[in-house]
Amino acid sequence: MKRPSNEPTRGAMRPNTPRLETLGAVIDAVASVAGRELAEEVLFRVGQSWGRAAASELEPAGPLARRLELGASRLKELGLGTALLDDVRHDPSQRDCRVRARIVGEPGESGARGSDAAPPAARGFLTGFVAAATGLDLVSAPIDPARPDAGFEIVPAHSYRLDQEPPPAAPSGSARFFLGTLGRSMGDFDLSLADLLENTSDAIILLDNDNMVRYWNRGAEQMFQFTRAESVGRKAGFILPPDLLANDELGMLQKKLAAGELVRNYITRRMRKDGTVRWVSLTRTLLHDSHGASIGSTAQLRDITEQRETESALERARMLAMIGELAAKIAHAIKNPLAGIHASVQVLASELAPDDPRREVFAEVGEEIHRLDDTVLDLLHFARPLPPRTQPTDLRTFVQDLIEPLKRRFGSQGVLFEVAIEEGLVVALDARMMAEAFDNLLINAVQALSGPGKVRVEARTIGRGVEVDVIDTGPGIPAADIERVFEPFVTQKSRGTGLGLPIARKNVELHGGTLVALPRTQPGAVFRMSLTLARDERAAPPSPF
């Protein structure tokens, strides 16, 4: 410690009788204008500030009980009374703290004008002192409002039971302060605000003016997988995907609110504890105290992921049907003339001498015709896919057989392939269709590397299905392009048709599964498909041919 406990603190904090008389005048003046409750809140905050200052005078070490004894001596020096510490508990590993205390007035101070100011200021002092000493977001409230002599308790903001009444002078930043303010604004309706907030399936989050979480309901716990204890006292950015966090979406929304703009049914994304991203409809509303000053905001979030995916699937199906119909017409219109051109080029090339340089030109024309023919076949396949003929297939062997020729083809470029699929995992698939889907995904992964790197295929069982991930160590896919990669004719390749991934997705969907691209917080891309476990556990020969 920087000084003995019996030595006065900074000169700015040295108490005297005029100071208490001034506090008494303050509480009388504020009470006459805004009521006793707000006056006590002001005194609480004054004491809270003194408590934090007193805690800063001490070394940040030692048991909390010992530090609180020193804090109680500072409280007595201020003339705010004697603190009797009935119970002190502190568990830093659980972010937990419990302090029960009573304030006993000094002999002979009854009747002094500052005596009315002492209790709320003293409670604020101890709350601020403990908060600064532990680094926790704390609130305090009477143990029994009907018995002032029972004292008060200081606990973490997130641990308040919502069936309790808000304390009359909860400190700024507590869940109780927000709930009390919101409750008063609702009037005298015959309902339980706590039940209303807790039992809704929507996530209800209360934020202060710094976007710090001050309340986190049960719906938020279920939606984002973070408990109340893990969430209260943190900046709200921990549930934002990295791209929205980098773009300061929270700051943008805060500015809209401050400018008086409505933030209602705002469609955005939020991230769960396991890293998965959910689409939400967000409504933000400012909270004000009785004087109109902003004390924070409420955030109501509704998970619309399934609804959005259903709408996207319907829109995609409609678009693909139109594209498929157009593609079939184009393919039929091109295929026959293309075959005639190819035959004519072959006839012309056959009439040239073996060493004629024009033979090389004809060969290049033939290669381009083959490429166009492949594109036409892709169009026909995309427009008129055949229904799958599934049979039980060992997934590990199936994938390994597909990867072997790729190892020989790309191994010299420094591309490594890994297969992490358990043995005996039997799925129902059409070998030709799924070979085409896997080939498109694997070739796409190799081309994304642009040099040495790794491509990994891993799988896990989920109920009666299987999730298969194709992962590469390339630059990854920007979040804004996650869905666009499956749009027909969208490609980053100079010679690609832009049909590889759409065909892969269509083949998987024809098996009753899904194929999606996942955003990653580190370099690389992940394509995840779902397949169905075969009911007949006898696997067919794995060859895709």
The string of pLDDT tens digits covering residues 64-74 is 888 888 888 88
Query: Which CATH architecture group holds 308-383?
Result: Orthogonal Bundle (1.10)
Q: Which H/E stretch holds residue 350? A: helix 305-350
Return the structure tokens found at 353.
Answer: 């001498």
- Of 76, 55, 74, 61, nearest to 131 by C-alpha is 55
Residue 300 is predicted with a pLDDT of: 92
DSSP category for residue 540 = B
DSSP H stretches of helix in 169-208: 175-185, 193-199
Residue 380 is predicted with a pLDDT of: 64
Q: Where in the chain is the domain with CATH 3.30.565.10?
A: 391-532
For 344-451, where are the E strands, in sequence order?
A: 391-394, 415-420, 426-429
Q: Report pLDDT digits (tens) over 30-69.
A: 555 555 666 677 778 888 888 888 888 877 667 888 888 8
Residue 63 is predicted with a pLDDT of: 86
Residue 339 is predicted with a pLDDT of: 77
Q: Where in the chain is the domain with CATH 3.30.450.20?
A: 181-303
Question: Which residues of the chain register pLDDT less than 50?
Answer: 1-18, 107-115, 161-177, 180-192, 494, 537-538, 543-545
Residue 6 is predicted with a pLDDT of: 40
- Of 123, 120, 10, nearest to 56 by C-alpha is 10
Residue written as token pair 């219109």: 333
- According to DSSP, the β-strands at 426-429 and 391-394 are antiparallel
- Of 174, 208, 178, 207, nearest to 193 by C-alpha is 178
d(CA 99, CA 155): 7
End-to-end CA gap in the chain: 79
Residue 320 is predicted with a pLDDT of: 64
Q: Report pLDDT digits (tens) over 400-438.
A: 999 999 998 888 889 999 999 988 889 989 888 899 899
Residue 255: how many other CB atoms lie within 10 Å:
11
- Of 125, 284, 109, 118, nearest to 211 by C-alpha is 284
DSSP category for residue 421 = -
Residue written as token pair 């033979």: 359
Residue 78 is predicted with a pLDDT of: 80
Amino acid at 522: Q
Do 122 and 47 form a contact (C-beta atoms < 8 A)?
Answer: yes
Helix axes 118-134, 36-56, angle to 10 degrees: 40
Residue 27 is predicted with a pLDDT of: 62
Residue 112 is predicted with a pLDDT of: 37
Beta bridge partners of 282: 266, 301
d(CA 347, CA 343): 6
d(CA 291, CA 446): 63
55-81 burial: b if 16+ Cβ within 10 Å, else e: bebbeeeeebeebbebbbbbbebbbbb
Residue 393: how many other CB atoms lie within 10 Å:
24
Phi, psi of 169 (to 5 degrees): -140, 60
**263-271, strands of its sheet edge to edge:** 213-216, 203-207, 294-303, 277-288, 263-271
Between the alpha carbon of residue 116 and those of residues 74, 75, 147, 282, the distances in Å are 19, 16, 17, 45
Do 89 and 97 form a contact (C-beta atoms < 8 A)?
Answer: yes
Do 99 and 130 form a contact (C-beta atoms < 8 A)?
Answer: yes
Q: Where in the chain is the domain with CATH 1.10.287?
A: 308-383
Residue 7 is predicted with a pLDDT of: 42
In the CATH scheme, what is the homologous superfamily, with its name and number, of domain 391-532? Histidine kinase-like ATPase, C-terminal domain (3.30.565.10)
- According to DSSP, the β-strands at 294-303 and 277-288 are antiparallel
Residue 187 is predicted with a pLDDT of: 43
Q: Report pLDDT digits (tens) over 248-303.
A: 999 999 888 888 888 889 999 999 998 888 999 999 988 876 566 778 888 999 99
d(CA 430, CA 435): 8
Return the structure tokens found at 162.
Answer: 């919502």
In the CATH scheme, what is the homologous superfamily, with its name and number, of domain 181-303? PAS domain (3.30.450.20)
